[in-house]
Structure 1
Amino acid sequence: MTDPLPDELSEAERARRALIQWSLDKSHVRLGNMARWHKGTTYRRMPDKTQLSAMGMDALGDGWLPAEPLITPETRVLAIGSCFARYFILWLAEHGFNKAAPQSPYNALLRFGSDFVSPAVVAQQFRWAFDELDDKDVLWIGKDKNIFEATEERRQLVRDTLLGTEVLLLTLGLSEVWYDRVTGEPLWRALTEDQFDPERHIFRVETMAQTLHYLETIERLRAQHVPNMTIIYTVSPIRLAATFRPVSALTASSASKAIVRAALDEFLRNHQDGLHRNLFYFPSYELVTEYFVDPYEHDNRHISSTVAAGIIRYFVAHYCSADMIERSGRSLNDLEGAGQDLERFIQQSRIAGTDPRSGELLARIAELEGKVVDLQKICDERQEVIVGLDQAARERLDLIHRLDAEVKRIQGR
């Protein structure tokens, strides 16, 4: 049976075949339209998987990296943002950077009991520091659920810290924000029940335009008060812990990151004169989401120490001076909390010449093997307890049998 000629096909069948075949209609190819597409001078193709493996992280760093390092051991570095920013400051402090910090280099993460993760809240901190915010208009709640007092002493500390900063690592995290309807000021986080007023405190998702406004506010105050400050922007890859929207937390987190990332991209395009001079972007978010295979921990929010190490190693290679100082801090293994994970991060960040993606998978395997060893140790310890209890039970049972026999002997007299 031969296929019908094209003219004999129904409209529906032609549409069906065109959809399935999805090929160029060769009848449209003529000498008159054989010209090449204009590509310009900045044209870049999406790398396929083989090319991505060959290019490594440079596939994402292309066009964003500085021509020369920005950070030396004497550079005064400050970080603002999510807990992902902690990795940057920890690595710098452990390797002798931030020598000029007025206090400990480990204090170079501006927090005040809260992670400043939304552009609205970061801009608010800049406005507060440089006298564009009435502290009577704010209600700030820290992670400890206590009210943070916006005192003049604290404001001056933030101001002096910013004025003394040469490089600011600014990690933006989300676009979901709580606001005070009366003052128009953003809150650090959702309020406690005793502080929440449904008539006054509202939740909203920032638009791209609003986010762009906050970024412009930060830039205006930087240029006005700290013109020599360099800002390295990043977007935190850490997902939302929860959302106040009536939708999936995963989709809300994706939308939140997209708004921040798109607004930041527009902001950087609007400031081409400052790009690669005072303004930089480090693609940590894209490295996590587009490069690594399984970057997230079991909580599906935080990235593994192995992935963090690979990202920091790439950052250091391009942003930090080559005269690396040997690690000055002692091992973190003995510290409570996340000490062992952070020590593993430090150790892995110092391994040069390795493929981060391969290292990620090998680290996952090693982590699982380590858990198996730990579980086996627990099982062995519990087995010893079980054996001991079994022995004790047998001895007691034997005693019961002997006492029972003795009772029967006495009763039989």
Structure 2
Amino acid sequence: MNPYQSLPARSFWRTAVAEPEMLAVDDLWTPKFALGQDDPILTAGSCFARHIGRTLLELGMNWRDAEPAPPGLTAAERSARQYGVFSFRTGNIYTAAMLRQWLGWATGTATPGTESWVEDGRHFDPFRPSVEPAGHDSAEAMLAAREVTLAAIRDAIAEAGCLVFTLGLTEAWHERGTGVVYPMCPGTVRGTFDPERHEFRNHSFTQVQQDIIAAVELARGVNPELRILLTVSPVPLTATATATHALTANTYSKSVLRAVAGQLALEHEHIDYFPAFELITGVPFRGAFFEPNLREVTPEGVEFVMRRFTAALSRRPAERPDGESRPEKGGDQLCDDAVLDYYNAR
């Protein structure tokens, strides 16, 4: 006997990957901890994370919307102002550094900046520039709105059973001196780029690992029982600020994020990893789950990932019953970094 003789079929490339029909590839994830019907679940991260919250809600699970929309808003207004997208109105959190920053501000271990971006007399939050598309009347109003979100984060973390965080990128823009991290390069979505103030950083494995560990410690400092489920977004970066080709830059970014998530899941009982990235980008799927732009994930791809997610949680077969509704289209409309394609020279 040798160790390979007793391994299950999922351990071998031929039987687990090469032979099954594409949609039959399964059994990629055994949840480390249970998520019960009543466990409060929070979602945050890159734009792909919004699918998880919506699916949990459709399943009747306790996805927590910590900042519900005020009464009287239309569906279009709720969407434009990003109510109900993530558990908090932070907008997209692409990097581990920004998750750490938001949690530091929410827990009072770091002091939020007071910078305001002004356009046509309206004030916009540099750290969530797309959340209020019409802006605020004043810097004070903008900061007060942010405080509402910070309070929502703090209160929801204290009561949550699990935080699902989707890692998106390693590339980020920081303010020189203070080191604060922006969700997007100033001057793209909003604001003005100043090379004397703003600097580019491509975070390393060590930096991402340190940021996630620090973020988890901040959250569990509020709620020691909180569990963390990490995923990596399969959506490629729109543009790279490195000197490399976009394909190799994306490979670096996703490789670092996947390696960090896997390492932390191995080392900590309260951290798990769900393979959304592999379920879209893996070899057996041959790119079939990407739209023609090779960036947006198709509704069928989202459905495929979420079937595997919910089947593993509930131990149900992953097949889709006839007549089950598919996710709606419109993938890039909430992805801030999609605006970078505007700057693509044609």
Q: TM (normalized to structure 2)?
A: 0.72
Q: What is aligned with 2:96?
A: 119
The code of the aligned residue for 2:104 comes to: R
Give the deviation of 1:315 after TM superposition.
Answer: 0.6
In the alignment, structure 1 residue 87 sits paired with structure 2 residue 51: yes
Give the deviation of 1:288 after TM superposition.
Answer: 1.1
Identify the match of residue 47 of structure 1 among 6, 9, 13.
13
Structural RMSD (CA): 3.4
Mapped to 2, the partners of 1:103 and 1:53 lie a distance apart of: 46
Mapped to 2, the partners of 1:246 and 1:49 lie a distance apart of: 40
Give the deviation of 1:191 after TM superposition.
Answer: 0.4
Q: Against the structure 1 CA distance between its residues 102 and 169, is the aligned structure 2 distance closer, same or farther, given a 3 Å change threshold?
A: closer
Q: What is aligned with 2:281?
A: 289
More helix per residue: 1 or 2?
A: 1
Q: Against the structure 1 CA distance between its residues 142 and 269, is the aligned structure 2 distance closer, same or farther, given a 3 Å change threshold?
A: same
Give the deviation of 1:60 after TM superposition.
Answer: 2.9
Give the deviation of 1:125 after TM superposition.
Answer: 1.1
In the alignment, structure 1 residue 312 sits paired with structure 2 residue 299: no
Q: Please tell me whether the aligned partners of residues 174 and 198 of structure 2 are also in contact (alpha carbons under 8 angstroms).
A: yes
Q: Against the structure 1 CA distance between its residues 226 and 250, is the aligned structure 2 distance closer, same or farther, given a 3 Å change threshold?
A: same
Equivalent residues in 2 for 1:261-410, closer than 5 Å: 261-271=258-268, 274=269, 278-290=270-282, 291-293=284-286, 294-320=288-314, 339=328
Q: Against the structure 1 CA distance between its residues 111 and 254, is the aligned structure 2 distance closer, same or farther, given a 3 Å change threshold?
A: farther
The code of the aligned residue for 1:78 comes to: L
Give the deviation of 1:167 after TM superposition.
Answer: 1.8
Q: What is aligned with 2:127?
A: 140
Q: Please tell me whether the aligned partners of residues 104 and 110 of structure 2 are also in contact (alpha carbons under 8 angstroms).
A: yes
Give the deviation of 1:37 after TM superposition.
Answer: 7.4
Deviations 1:36-94 (A, max 9, x none): 97779989854126754449443533xxx12674131x222211012211111112222
Indicate the SS of the match to 1:195.
coil
Give the deviation of 1:201 after TM superposition.
Answer: 0.7
Q: Please tell me whether the aligned partners of residues 176 and 197 of structure 2 are also in contact (alpha carbons under 8 angstroms).
A: yes
Mapped to 2, the partners of 1:160 and 1:255 lie a distance apart of: 35
In the alignment, structure 1 residue 205 sits paired with structure 2 residue 192: no
Q: Please tell me whether the aligned partners of residues 157 and 222 of structure 2 are also in contact (alpha carbons under 8 angstroms).
A: no
Q: TM (normalized to structure 1)?
A: 0.61
Percentage identity across paired residues of the two chains: 27
Mapped to 1, the partners of 2:65 and 2:230 lie a distance apart of: 21
Larger radius of gyration: 1
Equivalent residues in 2 for 1:98-117, closer than 5 Å: 98=62, 107=84, 109-110=86-87, 112=89, 114-117=91-94
Q: Against the structure 1 CA distance between its residues 145 and 182, is the aligned structure 2 distance closer, same or farther, given a 3 Å change threshold?
A: farther
Q: What is aligned with 1:70?
A: 35
Mapped to 1, the partners of 2:43 and 2:181 lie a distance apart of: 20
Give the deviation of 1:341 after TM superposition.
Answer: 6.5
How many corresponding residue pairs? Answer: 286
Structure 2 stretches lacking a partner, 5+ long: 70-82, 116-125, 317-324, 332-346
Indicate the SS of the match to 1:223.
helix
Indicate the SS of the match to 1:242.
coil
Give the deviation of 1:218 after TM superposition.
Answer: 1.6
Mapped to 1, the partners of 2:212 and 2:88 lie a distance apart of: 19
